[in-house]
Amino acid sequence: MSSSSTAFSVWIINKAGGLIYSKTYAQGLSPGSALLATFKCEAESSPPDLTSNEYLVLASTFHSIHAIASRISPISGSSGVEVIEAETFKMTCLQSPTGTKFVLLTTPSHPSPEQVLRRVYETYADYLKDPFYTVEMPIRSETFDTKLASVVRG
Amino acid sequence: MSLSTSAARHKSLGDDLYKRSDKVNGELFALTYGALVVQLIKDYEDYDEVNKQLEKMGYNIGVRLIEDFLARTGLGRCKDFTEVGEVMAKVAFRSLLAITPSLIHHPVSPTQPKPAFSLIFDENPLTDFVELPEEAVEGGLVYAKVLEGVIRGALEMIQTSVTAQIVSDTLRGDERTELRVTLVRYLEEEMPPGDD
């Protein structure tokens, strides 16, 4: 069972809605977990993760929902989706003024996902300093993986 | 909020970010940039082309630099073009180059339909030790051209299309070095959702 401040995964979504980075740090948030939670059973082995294609679709769906939310909000000048809270998870999104989105999936009782996201943003900004990395393209770097893991795990 | 309190806020943000940042030796920085410019002149043998390349390089720096700047300052959208100038002079230049250029606003007028501001540099770590040879001056070399590109690239990433031009340059014999930034347009269609 996950602790009360587990971060399950991180997504980084570029300005066009494409997923450029996705990493899962802890089990407990796979499609079957909500079902398992309902039946209050302990999972012996975790249900399989989503495929990378499914993550791409999820991310671009979120990108669209994020944008639509600011349009349909009854209060003008609203931002896009910042937090989605459910029984088994909390999804927090930080959007930079440049349009890049950082999404963190955590347990509902995670105390400070915004702070984690700020540090994710700083780690991403550091990665941009590699001149060989093309901005907006998928991030494939072990160093980035390591740095981000230590930020997310706290 | 009165202009003086937001000016004070920008100044302290710039000073604070400068303090927190890693430092590099200024002379080394000047030498590195100088080596770059000289090599470009050797490679292209055409001052116009060198100017273009410097601006392009600046653009590539700017598009990356802006995310770092925003991540570290946590600043949001500026409320108008005047504030863009303030933040650029007092926070960006202060924290990145340790200088605070003077800022002159050029409000909209019949001869100038878009807002603009000028940054006046009385010191610049890029150009501290430089004396341009006669033929470079005649050829039109703008030594610090990279700065134009950095500003253009950085602002483009926050949906602000500008022209940035060094309109007078002490290295070329002018009285002062002035970099003029003029708004072209806001790129509304690329605005992240919900920004006021």
Q: Check CB contact under 8 Å for A79 and B194.
A: yes
Could you give the dihedral angle defined by the CA atoms of residues A121, A123, A125 and A127, in that order, rounded to the nearest 10 degrees? -140
The pLDDT of B170-188, averaged and rounded, is: 94
Q: Determine which of A60-74, A131-145, B57-71 has the lowest per-residue pLDDT on average.
A: A60-74
Interchain CB contact of B52 with A (< 8 Å): no
A35 has pLDDT over 50 = no
- pLDDT-derived band of residue A34, with 50, 70 and 90 as boundaries? very low
pLDDT digit string, tens, across residues B73-115: 999 889 899 999 999 999 999 999 999 999 999 999 999 999 9
pLDDT digit string, tens, across residues B35-56: 999 999 999 999 999 999 999 9
The pLDDT of A90-117, averaged and rounded, is: 92
Distance of residue B111 Cα from the nearest chain A Cα, in angstroms: 32
Here the ipTM equals 0.82
Query: What's the confidence (pLDDT) of residue A77?
Result: 75
List CB contacts (< 8 A) between A82 and chain B: none
Q: How many residue contacts between A and B have a Cβ separation below 8 Å?
A: 64
| CA A6/CA A28 separation, integer angstroms | 10
For chain B, give the mean pLDDT.
92
CB atoms inside a 10 Å sphere around CB A131 = 9
Distance of residue B66 Cα from the nearest chain A Cα, in angstroms: 8
Query: What's the confidence (pLDDT) of residue A48?
Result: 58
| CA A121/CA A92 separation, integer angstroms | 13
List CB contacts (< 8 A) between A79 and chain B: 193-195
A2 has pLDDT over 80 = no
The pLDDT of A99-109, averaged and rounded, is: 92
Which of B68, B76, B195 lies at the smallest CB-CB distance from A125?
B68
Q: Are strands B102-106 and A101-106 parallel, antiparallel or unpaired?
A: unpaired
Q: Check CB contact under 8 Å for B193 and A96.
A: no
List CB contacts (< 8 A) between B66 and chain A: 98
A33 has pLDDT over 50 = no
- CB contact residues (below 8 A), chain A span 85-114, against chain B: 95-100
Distances (CA, A) of B171 to B43, B48, B120, B174: 22, 16, 14, 7
